[in-house]
């Protein structure tokens, strides 16, 4: 591996006069820097524990995309994709470059996109050493002989110490996350939350890959022994990571994938899982991957004497996180590539408690629910969210999708028609009543439903139609209480169920109408 020089940074990125350039440091050396700079703590089993200050989740209201002629007409502008001028971007970019002068910088060259035909070189420049460990876990790691990148496809400049001035910089607050597709760059300031780096890169891929005919998806993916690929769409907290980490199926990837003509490929080289209430009993694979040297735990509670991690504690936030390399898991697809999907799950956290735990969707219903992306924001995922709130996130990932929802829905329709994949709506939320009355869907029974859907057991059985929603629900499933399958039967007051179900169905229609307008 050759070294990246100060001249390289100046010529390629305009970064001048850094104090030291720490380029693709080995993880043990980065650990030393983290401890020396008091950025984090080494916890049990050697995991790295870090804290993100006031930002313990994403700041979607502070995310912007530069409005410029080359991409302006392709982006859905609004509260998700806020526009900012090239001049404002240039001003903040300059602030970061000036801030970097005289500072130690941790620079890392990585890949995104496991398939070589769609792979993109990424360079991350960090102010913090622990952020450099984080990105090494989340993105794909090149061989030493392939470093440094000869050309950089996308650059991320992360400088939490740089604050924006809303009056002059065109931002909402001191925090900013800005994508510039013309310059293939993201700049981040005013937040230490590491997830912003991951999501900035993948938001860029969600915009760029359709130009190559690739359908970008916010989903996890795994594959069975017969090569049958399953996808799990869903927002944070709905169970993508948990359900796809199946000991009987190899994991292709945890969160972001592309569907090309011959199959699917993982965007990333790691997993970024929620760690709240993580236990060895219910999620042994993720638990073991979390407690090992090189993994990064964010905002968890740690005993200062024993260094033991308390995964149940919400002292800092409910949105505790762990970032680990995908090869920390025992059953993965090392190449990160799989065949054409056979089974698709659309996960939803239904806070109303009226949707069945699983429903088989027609192609038309699949497009409907994909476009809606109904779920609930889970406590702690975003700042200011203290309890689940019903929400619609189109395509199960609207915070990361620059293009209009119907654009991505059209790509899904084409893929479904070509593949003949079976689609299921999976409710991992509340049953037996609304949130506060009912209970969270039991994980073992959700796992049983997924297994029966993937192996074809549900398809071979009979179905009932659920009133109001018109959903086809299996009458039975091995390992699942029949009463759970039709939620109305688990409510104490069936008439109250009808009222809540009708209320939600009406909201579905109202929301969908917005996309057709």
**Three-state DSSP string of 294-327:** CCEEECCEECCCCCCEECCCCCCCCCCEEEEEHH
Catalytic entry in 95, 115, 141, 199: 199
Catalytic entry in 13, 123, 321, 383: 321
218 included as an active-site residue: yes
Cα first-last separation, the chain: 54
58 included as an active-site residue: yes
Catalytic entry in 62, 246, 255, 350: 255
Report the helix count and the strand count for the chain, using DSSP H and E.
14, 30
DSSP string computed for 444-463: HHHHHHHHHHHTTHHHHS-E
Strand partners, 105: 21
Catalytic entry in 56, 241, 320, 428: 241
Q: State the greatest distance between any 2 C-alpha atoms of the chain, in Å, as a whole number.
A: 72
Distance CA 441, CA 418 (A): 33
328 included as an active-site residue: no
212 included as an active-site residue: no
Q: Which two tokens stand for residue 187?
A: 């700049």
Catalytic entry in 82, 93, 218, 377: 218
199 included as an active-site residue: yes
Q: Which two tokens stand for residue 55?
A: 């930002």
Length of the chain: 517
Catalytic entry in 13, 58, 82, 131: 58
Q: Categorise residue 428: left if φ over 0, alpha if ψ from -120 to 50, beta otherwise.
A: alpha
Catalytic entry in 240, 257, 274, 415: 240
257 included as an active-site residue: no
Residue partners of 511: CB distance under 8 A and separation at least 6: 372, 374, 392
Number of C-beta neighbours around residue 290 at 10 A: 27
Backbone CA torsion sign across 140, 142, 143, 144: negative
CA 113 to chain CA centroid, Å, is 15
Catalytic entry in 171, 191, 236, 290: 236
Active site residues: 58, 199, 218, 236, 240-241, 255, 321
């Amino acid at each position: 591996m050759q070294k990246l020089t100060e001249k390289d940074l100046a010529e390629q990125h305009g970064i001048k006069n850094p104090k030291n350039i720490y380029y693709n440091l080995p993880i043990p050396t980065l650990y030393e820097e983290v401890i020396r700079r008091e950025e984090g703590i080494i916890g049990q089993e050697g995991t790295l524990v870090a804290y993100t200050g006031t930002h313990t989740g994403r700041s979607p209201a502070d995310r912007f995309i530069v409005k410029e002629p080359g991409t302006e007409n392709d982006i859905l502008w609004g509260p998700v994709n806020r526009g900012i001028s090239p001049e404002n971007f240039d001003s903040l970019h300059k602030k970061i470059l000036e801030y970097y002068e005289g500072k130690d910088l941790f620079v890392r060259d990585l890949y995104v996109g496991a398939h070589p035909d769609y792979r993109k070189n990424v360079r991350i420049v960090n102010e913090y050493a622990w952020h450099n460990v984080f990105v090494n876990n989340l993105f794909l790691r090149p061989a030493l002989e392939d470093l440094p990148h000869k050309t950089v496809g996308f650059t991320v400049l992360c400088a939490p110490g740089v604050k924006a001035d809303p009056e002059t910089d065109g931002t909402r607050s001191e925090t900013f996350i800005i994508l510039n597709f013309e310059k293939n760059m993201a700049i981040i300031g005013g937040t230490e939350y590491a997830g912003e780096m991951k999501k900035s890169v993948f938001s860029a891929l969600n915009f760029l890959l359709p130009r190559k005919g690739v359908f970008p998806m916010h989903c996890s993916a795994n594959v069975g022994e017969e090569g049958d690929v399953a996808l799990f769409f869903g927002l944070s907290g709905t169970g993508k990571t948990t359900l796809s980490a199946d000991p009987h199926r190899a994991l292709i990837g945890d969160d972001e994938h592309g569907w090309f003509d011959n199959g699917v490929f993982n965007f990333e080289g790691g997993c970024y899982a929620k760690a709240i209430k993580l236990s060895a009993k219910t999620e042994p694979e993720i638990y073991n991957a979390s407690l090992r040297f090189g993994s990064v735990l964010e905002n968890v509670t740690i005993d200062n004497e024993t260094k033991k991690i308390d995964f149940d504690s919400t002292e800092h936030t409910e949105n505790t996180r762990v970032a680990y390399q995908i090869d920390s898991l025992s059953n993965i697809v090392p190449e990160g590539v799989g065949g054409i999907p056979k089974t698709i799950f659309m996960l939803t956290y239904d806070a109303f408690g009226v949707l069945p735990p699983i429903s088989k969707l027609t192609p038309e219903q699949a497009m409907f629910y994909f476009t809606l992306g109904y779920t609930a924001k889970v406590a702690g995922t975003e700042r200011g969210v203290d309890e689940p709130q019903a929400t619609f996130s189109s395509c199960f990932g609207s915070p990361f999708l620059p293009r209009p929802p119907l654009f991505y829905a059209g790509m899904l329709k084409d893929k479904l028609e070509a593949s003949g994949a079976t689609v299921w709506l999976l409710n991992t939320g509340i049953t037996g009543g609304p949130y506060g009355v009912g209970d969270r869907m039991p994980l073992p029974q959700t796992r049983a439903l997924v297994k029966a859907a993937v192996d074809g057991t549900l398809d071979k059985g009979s179905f009932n139609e659920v009133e109001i929603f018109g959903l086809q629900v299996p009458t039975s499933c091995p390992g699942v209480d029949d009463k759970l399958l039709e939620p109305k039967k688990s409510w104490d007051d069936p008439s109250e169920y009808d009222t809540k179900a009708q209320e939600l169905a009406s909201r579905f229609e109202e929301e969908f109408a917005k996309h057709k307008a």
